[in-house]
Amino acid sequence: MLFLCLIDVIITGEMNSWIQELVLTFVPLFIVVDAFGTLPFLILLSEGSSRKERNSMVRVAVITAGMVGLVFLFVGRFILKIMGISVGAFAIAGGIILLVLSVNFMTKGHMLEARHEEMVAVVPIGTPLLAGPATITTLLLLESQFPLYIVVISFMLNLIAALLLFTFSEHIVRFLGQGGVKAISKVFTLILAAIAVNMMLQGLDMLELINLPG
């Protein structure tokens, strides 16, 4: 009886530790993946798309984010070291891409010359919005502090949450109407440009070329 109680305490302790580690890795990833913050841009970029095209875009975006995140999680440090690329440089490159896309939308009314849902899903939704420099940096940091499988599970749970949120984005579009979507698109295009500039500034800060406050 005493032996069974001891086993129960050990199992319970391990379970509590596992749950605690899962929470401690899930929360920071949830913040940096920022599916809620990316949702307006999904609505913007899927404007005029059919339900089938939007669902396809969502799947490609989440799969892209998952692939980018997992590649950097498992071999990111090695790739960056071999190629001589820093996370700061990656942040600057991602910021430039977002800035070009946002300027294109403001001046031409579209981000790409020939819009393909799969291409838009990969860039900018999959990366650098969902799996950008902040996500990659957080994954590498968590991997050095927690068991790898815990970090992978937390990342997958975040992607599932993003998938569910994006899948139901059509209800938001229906609620806003086409006029509302177009009006909000203009506002969020400016926000996207601001995110791009901020991403580049963070990259410069990581490279110690500037010193951001805080």
Q: What's the mean pLDDT in 143-166? A: 93
Q: State yes or no: pLDDT of 122 exceeds 70.
A: yes
Tell me whether residue 168 is in a domain: yes
Identify whether the C-beta of residue 28 lies closer than 8 Å to the C-beta of residue 143. Answer: no
Q: State yes or no: pLDDT of 11 exceeds 50.
A: no
Measured between alpha carbons, how far is 190 from 94 in angstroms, rounded to an integer? 16
| pLDDT tens for each residue of 69-114 | 999 899 877 877 788 887 788 778 878 887 887 787 777 766 655 4
Tell me whether residue 211 is in a domain: no
Tell me whether residue 101 is in a domain: yes
Tell me whether residue 127 is in a domain: yes
Tell me whether residue 109 is in a domain: yes
Q: What is the pLDDT of residue 4?
A: 40
Tell me whether residue 38 is in a domain: no
Sole residue written with tokens 């070009």? 100
In terms of residue numbers, what domain contains 11?
Answer: 2-31+49-206
Token pair listed for 92? 């600057």
Q: What is the pLDDT of residue 163?
A: 95
**Count of structural domains, the chain:** 1
Q: What's the mean pLDDT in 2-18? A: 51
Give residues with Cβ within 8 angstroms of 166, minimum separation 6. Answer: 35, 39, 42, 58, 61, 62
Which region among 17-21, 63-67, 92-96, 184-188 has the lowest average model confidence (pLDDT)? 184-188
| pLDDT tens for each residue of 158-188 | 999 999 989 988 777 777 666 776 677 677 7
The pTM score is 0.74
Tell me whether residue 43 is in a domain: no
